[in-house]
Amino acid sequence: MWHSSSYTDTGQVRSLNEDSVLNLHAQQLWLVADGMGGHSNGDYASQLVTRTLSGYIGSRQQGISKKRLVRSLDECNRHLINKANESQVDVIGCTVAVLQARAHSVLCSWSGDSRIYRLRHGQLLQLTQDHSQQSAIDDRDRLRHPRALMEPSQMLTAAIGGDLHLSVEHCWYTLQEGDTFLLCTDGLNKEVSDDEILDALDASSDGDVVLSTLSDLYQQRGARDNVGLVWASKQA
């Protein structure tokens, strides 16, 4: 009942793709990971997370439990911190967004600013909240300090490998027939608006077509960053 597609690209500016995607259709597990820009071995970090979870098999009844997922991400976190210390660099890390499906619900887990969107009945909802300085500015701060929006605000407040204490947020959502999900790294959001994401998701029930549409927009706008996309839909 699930259909899924994935796509990743280096873009037109970067020489190395530090984004990774995982499309475990049979396990109903999908993720995107984005190596932290400006730091060493971002590709190593994102690939470590996808490689670790690629062999992660859940039971038919329980799927992949939240506890086991956190344990795996914590292992990645500690490994990246140790590797950074050995390499004498500040950080080796990545963002991650993970979607797990059960019979009647989905679990969204994320660290950083990679996102998960849901399309339901023509309405687009961002299921995750970016772990960034920009997202931490609430509406009251924006009114009191308008210049806050002009300050550098893309710095992450959480990431795998970013801190000894793993910071991952989780949310459960009910699942309905026809729900469609898009996981994306921030390379997409730099070039494509939420309204355009909605249009692409709403225009087709074929994941390859949706990702092709989003990829074309991303490339037309300059593709300044790497991008990682996963589309998943529960269809009859």
Q: What is the mean pLDDT of residues 145-150?
A: 44
pLDDT of 23-54, one tens digit each?
Answer: 998 899 999 999 997 667 999 999 999 999 99
| Tally of structural domains, the chain | 1
| Range of the structural domain that residue 206 is part of | 2-234
pLDDT of 79-102, one tens digit each?
Answer: 999 999 999 999 999 999 999 998
Residue 142 — pLDDT band, cuts 50, 70, 90? very low
Alpha-carbon span 100 to 18, nearest angstrom:
23
User: Collapsing DSSP states into helix, strand and coil, what is residue 105?
Assistant: strand
Checking if the pLDDT of 154 tops 70, the result is: no
The four Cα atoms 22, 24, 30, 35 give a dihedral, to 10 degrees, of -10
CA 6 to chain centre: 12
CATH number for the domain that contains residue 39: 3.60.40.10
Alpha-carbon span 204 to 87, nearest angstrom:
46
